[in-house]
Structure 1
Amino acid sequence: MTWKRWAAVAVLVLLVFVGACAALFRGNTAQRAAIPADQPIYVSVKPGMSASDIGDELVKHGVLENKFSFWWKVKTGDAASHFKSGVYAMKPNMSADEVLRKLVSGDTTVVKFTIPEGFGVKEIAKRLADEGLVDEQDFLAKAKKYAPYDYIERKDDIRYACEGFLFPDTYELHEEATPESILKMMAEDFDTRLTPELRARAREMNLSIFDLITLASLVEKEALYAEDRPIIAQVFFKRLKIGMPLQSDTTLQYLLDAPKEDVSIKDTKIESPYNTYQHRGLPPGPIASPGMAAIKAVLYPANTDYLYFVADRKGHNHYSTNYADHQAIVEQVR
């Protein structure tokens, strides 16, 4: 075999080797294409991670098409010894050189996210996924059974064990964002916010923490304005006392795939323990994360004789003591 043929064979072997390496290290092209170009991708680099480990994370999150170029540049240089640990805000489809410059310069970031009052677990999962922090379905799966405190009751008919116990707040992440770390942080925030004084007040009212937050979640979803919260809380307490169904539209909305401006008669027939039209007493558990104002409204309700309320199109509630007056108000405001 002539030297030219040997050279041709060598080139062919090299091409096969490079192609095999590229295929081995290649990421999910469809996944990368689905990530908006302006969406930050948060990647955590921990002490002791190898170039291969970091490359895996970069490919998994859609930052790099494949890790071969990154891995090769690290292995043939001394960049690995200069990597700074921390959380990095990357972009989709970066080059290996761009990634290396960030890692060597230590261009880390503090991740912030805000969860508003009244968000349920599903809305929290979507918000976190939209910001590139977690996989939505993974978060929902973890939330289903997450109950780190004894006051979180574990019931078979509850959709998400931690529903209502993830405090709505603005958070900062200084390490890798995972469903587990975010759930833990939000649940700990809730536990801290529930001060000894608030817990003592709940005991004074013969309210368990679980029932307190269940009621507060209904108040949170029913009241758009601060002045309505303690009145609505009082209406719910009065109905519970006399054995009247709560008939809260918010519990029906919780059962629907998407929110509706008005629930229908058909919706009130949905068979579910969350349907407070069909079932007396509280729903199985909270339907959203209440803010502190809603929690305090339940602990310190108003003192009125109202038994009915309905919100107008601007979110202001109107109250009545009897069904005839209630119906008349409904006709006016709806």
Structure 2
Amino acid sequence: MSDVLKLSLEDISFLMELEKSGVVLKAGSVFNMSPSTASRNLTRISGYFPTPIFKFEGGSWRATDYFKLIRPNLIEMIKNAQTLMAQSFDAKTSERTYVISCMMTEVEHVVGGILPKLMERSPRSRLDLSKHENELAAVVNGLADFAIVTAVGLPADVHVMRLYPVTRVILVRRNHPLTFERRQLTKKILIPYDRVSILTGRSASWTSPEQNIFPYERYMEHTRYSTSRFHTAWEAMSKTDLICVCGWRAAEIAMRSHDLVALPLPIDAEEDELWNVLIWSDVRHKDPAIIWMRSLFSEWAQEEAARIAELEEKGKGPPTYKKRRSSAGV
């Protein structure tokens, strides 16, 4: 007699991932399983059924006709379970830990908006900001619930919420020679200056905020300090003529703590409309707690847009010479 009633929601989700990828390792990674655990998981789950549900052929695992026959029932079980979870989720009593992966300095600003809301509405929950070498992989592999990244080169199988547009500026010390320039800044004017390069941990798709600003120099020819922890450069920048291309919100944080100022991006710099976004995996997409948490980010994004609009109205917004060119959105 089969033990199908022993199936858990995660077991069924694991089978769906295996059918999609055909690779036990990849299906297991979605649930943060080691290769050996994922293999044992498939053996255990298969034992619940009276007939084989997967067969290994052509280098991958393929669903049997029996699995294809019962798939609609399994999908219905997932939907029913998710409905029950949604009905039972209560933010006020939830003790969920939400893991966010992000390497950007300006995540401090995002956390400053999100954490107070979380503490007020879900006082027993917790926010965990983790640093992963690859935020995209952290989300896809189930190591993080969310990642905050620049929307360049994103995987096709993640969900995306726009948070705010990327506005790059030049950060320098107060009374830096560039602050006395009467001309509009150009890339040529910036070339002689040594700089701090912010590393994103991403591939060539978005290696740094200074991408496309210095296309003709040798690799890091004028970089004197490279780091993914931008705040470690601020004191040195306040004492030298180092410059740095960074996001406006990171510059805001830097200027509050050190004697630094922000200048517009060079007039001849390409500034397409890029966005910093919140991403999450398809596995997490219908999780009631994740749905609720996304609502906090959505609320904050609207508040942030209003804040920037107010700053710009007062002439205190991001310095710029021109409007950014619009590009394909996320």
TM-score scaled to structure 1, two decimals? 0.29
More helix per residue: 1
Q: Which one has the bigger strand percentage?
A: 2
The structure with the larger Rg is: 1
RCO greater where, 1 or 2, for CA within 8 Å and sep 6 or more? 2
